[in-house]
Structure 1
Amino acid sequence: MSNSAPIPVVVNGAVGKMGRAVIKAISEAEDMQLMGAVDRDRWGEDVGEVAGIGAVEIPVTNNLEVLMAELAQGQQLGVMVDFTHPSSIYENIRTAIAYGVRPVVGTTGLEPEQIASLAEFADKASTGCLIAPNFSIGTILQQQMAVMASKYFDHVEIIELHHNQKADAPSGTAIKTAEMLSEVGKTFNPVEVNETETIAGARGGICGENVRIHSVRLPGLIAHQEVMFGGLGQVLTIRHDTSDRVAYMPGVLLGIRKVIQLKSLVYGLEKLLF
C-alpha cells in the first residue's frame, strides 16, 4: 500500500447497478476512501448495506453539492464518480468542477457541444475530468481493432445491444466507435443501390462518416457491441460481450487514479491507456 493518503471518492448514482458495483470496488481498493454516496432513492440507508457489502457508516444522500463542498475542504484531491442519468449529468460535472472535485463519468448522453463547454470549464479551472463512454478494457481494445480493420474495409455497421433500462440510444460506446472510425479519413458504405425504408429507421441511424448504428434494448442483456465489416467474399465481426458489471471496475479504478493527475477534460478511457 502507498504511504500517501487514500483518494477520497463520492459516488453519484450509488444505488443503481453500476453505482453499487463501484461502491464495492472502491471499498476493496487500498488507495481509495469512500466519502459519500448520492442517489435519488433510498435516502438515509447505509450505502454499504445497499451495495451488499455490509455497513460502512455512510448514508445515501440526495445533496451532491454538500458532498462536493466537503471534498473541497479536504487536503487530498477528491473525485466524483458519476453513473446517473443523461438529464442530470451536465450539471453534475459542472458542480464537481466548480468545487475543484475531479469527475470520473460513465453516464452517456452528453451532446458534443456540452462536452466542449465542459472541456472549456475544466481548462479554466485547471481541473481534471474524465468522461468515458465505456470503462471496459475489452471494449477499448475492440475499438482499437475496429480502427485497424477499417483501413482495409469500406463497409461497416455497428450493432449495440443493452438492457431495456438504458435511457439513451444509441449507446455512447457506439457513437464513440463510429467517431473513431470516421477519423481514419474516409467515408464508409458507398452507395450501391437506392434504398427505401418501408419502416422508418429500419436501416439504423448514421453517425460520422456514414457509419450506421443499430440499437437493441431487451431485458436479459447487459452491454454488447458488434462492429461488422463487409468485403468481397468475407465478413469480419469484432464483438465484445459484458456478462457482469465487474468488467468495468478496473477501468473505473484506473480513471480515479489518473484523473487527479489531469488538468483538463479527457474524453475516452483509451487516451489514458495508449
Structure 2
Amino acid sequence: MGIRVLVCGAGARMGRAVIKGVLGEPDLELVGAVGHEKHLGEDVGSLIGSEPVGVSLVGDLRKAISQSRAQVVVDFTNPGVVKQNLAIIAEERAHAVVGTTGITEQDLPGIVTLYRQQGVSAVIAPNFAVGAALLLRFAVQAAQFFPQVEIIETHHDQKLDAPSGTAIKYAEAIAQEVECTPSPTKVEK
C-alpha cells in the first residue's frame, strides 16, 4: 500500500487528470473522491473512461477524509470553496496539495498557522505546469527591461476564473519586481 490520496474536485478536468495520475503511480493509492452532485455515487473509473476502480464519488469532504483515512488531499475545486476545504483538510489532519486559485497572500499566514497547529503540511500552487512556473520566472526577469507589461490569456469557455489565478500571480510578481501597482484587468468573452 502507498500514500493514501483523496481527490477533491474529482469530476472536473484537473480532478480527473489527478485521478489518472494517482492510479498510475504504484506508490500512491486512490482512497477517495469528492465532487459535484451530478456525479455522486459514480465509480471514478467512469469519470476517466476506464474500468471501475472501487472508489465512488461523494459530496462530503470531512466524512470522505475520515472514512478513507486519506493522508493527502489534492484539491482542484474552485475559489468559492477552497478556503473552507483547506480548513477541513487540516482539521482532519491530512496533508493538502492545492491547485485551486483564490487563495491570497493575506490568507497564507492563517493557513500556515492552522496547518502547523495540526501538524500537517500544505502545498499551494496556482498552476502545476512546469512551463507556467518557468514563464513566471522569465516574466519577472524580463519585466526589468520593459517600460510596461501586458498579460494576455485565452481559455476554454468553461473557465471559471477570468483572469485566471495564474495571470493574477504573474501580475503581482511582476509588479513587485518593478515596484508598481498592476492596473485593473479587462475581461472579454
Q: Which residue of 2 aligns with 1:16?
A: 12
Could you tell me how far apart the structure 2 residues matched to 1:185 and 1:127 are? 35
5 Å-filtered alignment, 1:77-88, equals 78-88=71-81
Q: Which residue of 1 aligns with 2:161?
A: 168
5 Å-filtered alignment, 1:258-273, equals none
SS of the aligned residue for 2:149 comes to strand
TM-score, normalisation: structure 2: 0.90
Q: Which residue of 2 aligns with 1:61?
A: 58
The superposition leaves residues 166-217 of structure 1 with CA deviations (integer Å, 9 ceiling, x where unpaired) of 2222211011111211232432xxxxxxxxxxxxxxxxxxxxx235644454
Q: Which residue of 2 aligns with 1:33?
A: 29
Could you tell me how far apart the structure 2 residues matched to 1:42 and 1:185 are? 46
Shift of 1:6: 1.3
Larger Rg: 1
Shift of 1:116: 3.2
Amino acid at match of 1:173: T
| Richer in strand (by share) | 1
The superposition leaves residues 43-98 of structure 1 with CA deviations (integer Å, 9 ceiling, x where unpaired) of 111111221121101111112111222355x7xxx111111122111111110011
- Aligned pair partner of 1:149 in 115, 127, 142: 142
5 Å-filtered alignment, 1:176-255, equals 176-187=169-180, 209-210=181-182, 213-217=185-189
Change (3 A) 1:62 1:181: same
Could you tell me how far apart the structure 1 residues matched to 2:13 and 2:177 are? 35
Could you tell me how far apart the structure 2 residues matched to 1:11 and 1:135 are? 15
SS of the aligned residue for 2:4 comes to strand
TM-score, normalisation: structure 1: 0.64
CA contact (8 A) 2:6 2:72 kept: yes
Could you tell me how far apart the structure 2 residues matched to 1:22 and 1:155 are? 37
Q: What is the count of residue pairs matched by the alignment?
A: 188
Change (3 A) 1:155 1:212: farther
Amino acid at match of 1:138: G
Amino acid at match of 2:66: A
Q: Which residue of 1 aligns with 2:124?
A: 131
Q: Does 1:104 align with 2:104?
A: no
Change (3 A) 1:131 1:216: farther
Could you tell me how far apart the structure 2 residues matched to 1:216 and 1:83 are? 25
Could you tell me how far apart the structure 1 residues matched to 2:154 and 2:62 are? 34
Could you tell me how far apart the structure 2 residues matched to 1:16 and 1:210 are? 31
Amino acid at match of 2:135: Q
SS of the aligned residue for 1:161 comes to coil
Could you tell me how far apart the structure 1 residues matched to 2:12 and 2:22 are? 15
Could you tell me how far apart the structure 2 residues matched to 1:99 and 1:90 are? 14
Gapped regions of structure 1 (runs ≥ 5): 188-208, 218-274
Change (3 A) 1:185 1:126: farther
Gapped regions of structure 2 (runs ≥ 5): none
Change (3 A) 1:97 1:71: farther
What is the CA RMSD across the aligned residues, in angstroms?
1.9
| Richer in helix (by share) | 2
